[in-house]
Amino acid sequence: METFLMQTAEPFLFKGDDLGFLLIHGFTGTPKEMRLLGEYLSKQGHTVLGIRLPGHATRIEDMRRMNWQDWAAAVEDGVAMLRSCCSKVVSVGLSMGGALSMVAAANFSLDAAVAISAPYAVDDKRLPFLRPISVVKPYISKGSSDTKDAEQAAAHANYSVYPTRSIIELDRLLKATRKTLPYISIPVLLIHSKADQGVPIRNLDRYYKKIGSNQKIKVELEKSGHVVTEDIEREVAFQAISDFVQKVIK
């Protein structure tokens, strides 16, 4: 039988206690980039669900057919699944997954939410022209990885290019995210690295200023690249998440 999922990029579930974590990967990424965090939280005894966003971790052609509502619906499914077995649920998202975590914080039944390396907007002058560009250039090349951990960078599972049409959907998602931020009332943790070359550190404060919750914390890392969950300061980020959840969830 033909398989569709990339090797090492499968969604995952670690059964644990009554505190559930929903882990959401990034744009063109896979559940693998959240797995080390999942294993860390699982070792603490928690229940962890690492979802696969529609169109990801299979074939890049699949991603071109998806819209941002498909990704948000997958997150809503994940929340519902964890709610069926856990009394407390926390979302943790990386990059675009961080934006989806904030959408979930405003709209779904969560007790706390975390966003790591989240983009606030698509800051690209080509954005208004992407639809016609996508007809003649369906894919756009990525820059080189900024991950400092060479072993993790070599094993990183993702698509090697960006589907042009999907960037339009990312922009639509981020517009929807920005509208929801003032309505977030649950505790929020924001993590970002000053060395992030994909989503600059300025995005951290843009989120922080707009989030409505009076319980919001930001953590700035010094050396990591964009994929914090696989880079050299990941243990610092993991500990910050653990400390945050212990503080805000009784």
Helices (H), the chain: 35-43, 60-64, 68-83, 96-107, 130-136, 150-155, 164-180, 202-210, 234-248
Catalytic residue among 196, 213, 224, 231: 196
Q: pLDDT band for 152, please (50, 70, 90 cuts).
A: very high
Q: What is the mean pLDDT of residues 46-61?
A: 97
Summarised one tens digit per residue, pLDDT across range 233-247 is 999 999 999 999 999
Determine whether 46 is an active site residue.
Answer: no
| Helices (runs of H) and strands (runs of E) counted in the chain | 9, 9
The amino acid that residue 90 corresponds to is V
* Fold (CATH) for 12-248: Rossmann fold (3.40.50)
Alpha carbons 218 and 240: distance in angstroms, whole number: 10
Determine whether 226 is an active site residue.
Answer: yes
Catalytic residue among 91, 156, 226, 231: 226
Domain layout of the chain by residue ranges:
12-248
Whole-number mean pLDDT of the chain?
Answer: 95
Catalytic residue among 42, 91, 95, 224: 95
Q: What is the pLDDT of residue 36?
A: 98
Summarised one tens digit per residue, pLDDT across range 81-135 is 999 999 999 999 999 999 999 999 999 999 999 999 999 999 777 777 788 888 8
Q: What is the mean pLDDT of residues 179-204?
A: 97
Alpha carbons 195 and 222: distance in angstroms, whole number: 6
Determine whether 95 is an active site residue.
Answer: yes
Measuring CA to CA, which residue among 188, 9, 222 is closest to residue 113?
188
**Local structure of residue 127 (DSSP, 8 states):** G
Question: Do the beta carbons of residue 203 and residue 192 sit within 8 Å?
Answer: yes
